[in-house]
Amino acid sequence: MQTTPSEQDGQYGSAEGIRSFYDRLASGEADRLVKDLPGRVSFEVHRRFLRRHLSPGSRVLEIGAGPGRFTVEIAALGSTVVVTDISPVQLALNAEFVAAAGVEHAVERREELDVRDLSAFPDGSFDAVLAYGGPLSYAFEAERTAMQGMLRVVRPGGVVLASVMSLWGTWRAGLSSVLSMEAEHGTGVGDMVLATGDLRHVPGLEHVCRMFTWQEVEALVHAADAQIVDGSASNWASLHHGDTLAVLEQDEKLWQRFLNHESTACSAPGARDGGTHILFAARNRAHPRP
Ligand SMILES: C[S@@+](CC[C@H](N)C(=O)[O-])C[C@H]1O[C@@H](n2cnc3c(N)ncnc32)[C@H](O)[C@@H]1O
């Protein structure tokens, strides 16, 4: 019989389970955005999106900061940052990576934090919140609370920048793994995942998260009485064609030209579901951009 996530026992998808996954993954996470071509493109698309929306000199709350690639980017913009993560191991890696990049001066402090509980921070205490790489995808039943919390701690006119795992893009990128999973567990499991975005339906999966469609991201932001001001996929033309793109990557000029077109394509409304992640920028309705 098909079980639902809530019927499954133990730490499946719990804060302890996710923390322990990222503690064990440790420096494996540091390689995610450099080890292959889609990862490198995803990093560049995220970096450009950050630059588009983060004003230099901002005070930023970074949630799920992980090993710190975007902490360094925040520092490069002359902004300061409170670095947080649910995993103490990731926070320690963040300290190492940021120090090695020579930008520790931009870090106000580091602390353990679950995106589902931002009660430690007063209203409007940051210019921006950055939650890249999916903290919201690990909030499960508390995703609305998490979204509201992030919007509450930014000042009027401030921005929440986040990326979540994409349902259709992940299905597209990992179709052969999906079919293997269905061969093992049955097509009903695949149907449940596609209907809900919730990987907790797959028995025994080590890494579970909730994947979103663009429409669901919009609904989540609107339910928090905020508006979406920008959106993007993390990849559009770069999930496949690895051999062709590897040649292009060798030529800096051609590569930058490709990245320019890829970033533009990723932002097109018709492409936002197409990458492994969906990026969005949200502002409170009551506080339009100054
Ligand atoms: C895929 S990594 C992304 C790291 C970094 N932001 C990036 O984009 O490169 C996800 C990070 O979110 C953290 N995380 C997972 N669940 C979280 C939660 N509920 N609250 C805060 N952080 C969480 C993990 O520990 C991990 O460091």
- Please choose from 29, 147, 211 the residue to mutate so as to test ligand 1's pocket, defined by most ligand atoms within 8 A of CB: 29
Whose alpha carbon is nearest atom 11 of ligand 1?
64
- Please choose from 81, 84, 85, 164 the residue to mutate so as to test ligand 1's pocket, defined by most ligand atoms within 8 A of CB: 85
> What amino acid occupies position 87?
S
Residue 270 in this model has a pLDDT that exceeds 70? yes
**68 C-beta closer than 6 A to ligand 1:** no
Instruction: Please give the order of strands across the beta sheet that includes 107-112.
Output: 107-112, 80-85, 59-62, 126-131, 154-165, 277-284, 226-233
Residue 103 in this model has a pLDDT that exceeds 70? yes
- More confident position, 145 or 206: 145
Q: What is the mean pLDDT of the chain?
A: 92
Counting residues of the chain whose pLDDT is more than 70, the rounded percentage is 94
**138 C-beta closer than 6 A to ligand 1:** yes
**128 C-beta closer than 6 A to ligand 1:** no
Judge contact between 82 and 127, C-beta under 8 A: no
The per-residue pLDDT for 2 is 43
Judge contact between 138 and 198, C-beta under 8 A: no
The per-residue pLDDT for 9 is 42
What topology does CATH give the domain 5-284?
Rossmann fold (3.40.50)
**73 C-beta closer than 6 A to ligand 1:** no
CA of 186 to the centre of ligand 1 (A): 30
Apex 163 CA angle, 10 and 263, nearest 5: 150
The per-residue pLDDT for 267 is 97
The per-residue pLDDT for 1 is 38
**263 C-beta closer than 6 A to ligand 1:** no
- Please choose from 11, 21, 22 the residue to mutate so as to test ligand 1's pocket, defined by most ligand atoms within 8 A of CB: 22
The per-residue pLDDT for 12 is 62
The per-residue pLDDT for 10 is 44
111-150 pLDDT per residue, tens: 999 999 999 999 999 999 999 998 999 999 999 999 999 9
Which of these, 57, 99, 100, 96, lies nearest to 76 by C-alpha position?
57
For the chain, the domains span 5-284
The mean-pLDDT minimum among 7-21, 148-162, 177-191, 200-214 falls in: 7-21
pLDDT, average across residues 79-89: 97
Whose alpha carbon is nearest atom 4 of ligand 1?
66
pLDDT, average across residues 261-284: 97
The per-residue pLDDT for 286 is 61
**131 C-beta closer than 6 A to ligand 1:** no
